[in-house]
Amino acid sequence: MTLHDFLEEKEFVKSVHGALFDTLSLLLKKDMSFSVITNTARVSFNPPLPENIIKMFQKASVFELYGYTLSTAKIEEGALCFEAGFGENDFASLVSVPIGAILQIFIDNTPLFINMSIEKSPSIAQKKESGKSSYERSLKALLNNPKNKKLLED
């Protein structure tokens, strides 16, 4: 097994995500200001940011959580969520960063946590399949077995 294989290993990824969750939870509980470096492609904004702000982001972005932003921060549905203002006019948006998209946590420019895990992204076929209803997926699985096709014929 190579290092890359190990970093993609489901058990390792799960372990790192658990440690990330625990570290973030403790920081929020202690009301400590911190920053995260994130994989920007996986970060979502609600409402979406204007194009002139989005184009300023790099592949990895730093979000600083202190003051108001820290007071709104919480972990829900596997993501670090917080309100923040962007651009000259402080365009308000709810930021949602999946735990696995956090590459690093740091305090006062000192790294506290580095996420070395690599999440495998689902294939296009898996993405299409996951978008279907459970009924459609079940029906497809049922019809893929030739013996089941005979049951449905009149």
Residue 110, pLDDT score = 96
Most confidently modeled of 21-25, 53-57, 139-143? 21-25
Domain map of the chain by residue range?
3-120, 122-154
Instruction: Convert the pLDDT of each residue in 82-114 to its tens digit.
Output: 999 999 889 999 999 999 999 999 999 999 999
Q: Does the pLDDT of residue 59 top 80, yes or no? A: yes
Tokens 């200001």 sit on residue: 33
Average pLDDT, the chain: 85
Asked if residue 87 lies in contact with residue 51, where contact means CB atoms within 8 angstroms, the answer is no
Q: In which band, very low, low, confident or very high, does the pLDDT at 154 lie, cut at 50, 70 and 90?
A: very low
* Pick from 95, 97, 1: nearest CA to 53: 95
Whether the CB-CB separation of 27 and 34 falls below 8 Å is answered with yes
Give the end-to-end CA distance of the chain in Å, rounded to a whole number.
52
Q: Which amino acid is at 7?
A: L
Q: Give the model's confidence band at 144: pLDDT under 50 very low, under 70 low, under 90 confident, else very high.
A: low
pTM for this prediction: 0.75
Dist. CA 125–CA 145, nearest whole Å? 19
pLDDT of residue 139: 47
> Which tokens sit at 48?
């979406």
In the CATH scheme, what is the code of domain 3-120?
Answer: 2.30.30.220
Output the pLDDT for position 58.
92
Q: What is the pLDDT of residues 62-72, one digit of tens each?
A: 999 999 999 99
